[in-house]
Amino acid sequence: MAGITAVHTLCAVVSNTTVIGGITAQRLGVGSDVRATPTSGEAEPRFASLYKQTPTGGFTTVNVAAALDAFGIVSPYSKSIADLAAGLIFYAQLMDEGSTRTAGAAHRSYTLTEGIVLPRTLSAAHQDDATISYETMPTWDGTNDPIAEADSVALPTTITDAERFTLGPVALESVDLSQLRGIDISFGIVAQTDGSDSEIWDRHAHIVSIIPVLTFRGVNVAWLADAAIPLLGLAVTHANTAIYLRKRAIGGTGFVADITAEHILITAAGVATVQNAFDATGNALATCDVQLTCYGDDTNDPLVISTTSAIT
């Protein structure tokens, strides 16, 4: 037995030739379905076989604007992997024994050539960095494996990590959500892959529906009020709604100036309702939650996103 000889960690994700840095989590699953069923009243099966594989994957990054720009800021907020000439590439970065990371062409890559990459959640919390998580749903193009691994590859040479965002001001239908502690955006994308002819891998991926839901968490129980979010809800329009993620200033304290068009702005149309009007335990601060369920208003997408906005 040789013992442990090679261990790996994550790296950047490459969308065609665009390198997405700031990766905090990464995963790839094969989804193998092997079936073995006892028959004829026997306890043990006499036959086992691989029936299908449903590969999945995903990653999370703090480079929120870069990811949104790479994969889409308009509905469906997603990208067809087949439209990426070089595919969507994940890396397994080799750790250097006795040092940090191994230099040169010593790493592994996993290339996806067909399917969908779609956003799942965008979250920001008080004094924390905003993150966005994406899911991949690889399919088979008839030639290339859904996940094609390669060894002895070099890592991307243009990895950057120069942006962070956090909570900014939020107004729903001109109602300021003061004392905000967190935002969670579920893009609400239902997607699926399909196959036929008993092929092991699905060949087709598509989006079924998109129903974004935004949840706002704060310590202001006055959010539930006739003049704020009434008990029966509030109709929210793009024109009177602004959800900002404020960009942090690199190399110092504080933020990029409000007048600088580098912040993220999200507007939405939908129905805002209070979910938890008052929630407290012991001597902890009472919290209040508001949920915004979105729809398309015949003019705009459910969410309209800008990654180059000033805060006004």
Residue ranges in the chain whose pLDDT is less than 50: none
Distances (CA, A) of 137 to 2, 51, 79, 278: 36, 18, 11, 39
Question: Alpha helices of 41-121 — where are they, by DSSP H?
Answer: 64-71
Q: What pLDDT shows up at residue 252?
A: 79
- Hey, which bits of 204-282 come out as E strands? 204-210, 213-218, 234-236, 242-247, 263-268, 270-279
In whole angstroms, give the CA distance from residue 87 to residue 90.
10
* Upper half-sphere CA count for residue 10 (Cβ side, 13 Å): 16
In whole angstroms, give the CA distance from residue 159 to residue 89.
13
Q: What pLDDT shows up at residue 29?
A: 97
In whole angstroms, give the CA distance from residue 46 to residue 201.
25
Sign of the four-CA dihedral 309, 304, 19, 166 = positive
Helix, coil or strand: residue 87: coil
Q: What is the pLDDT of residues 250-268, one digit of tens each?
A: 987 799 999 999 999 999 9
Q: Which amino acid is residue 282, in one-letter code?
A: G
Helix, coil or strand: residue 297: coil
Q: What pLDDT shows up at residue 312?
A: 93
Helix, coil or strand: residue 99: coil
For the chain, the structural domain boundaries read 8-31+46-309
Q: What pLDDT shows up at residue 2?
A: 77
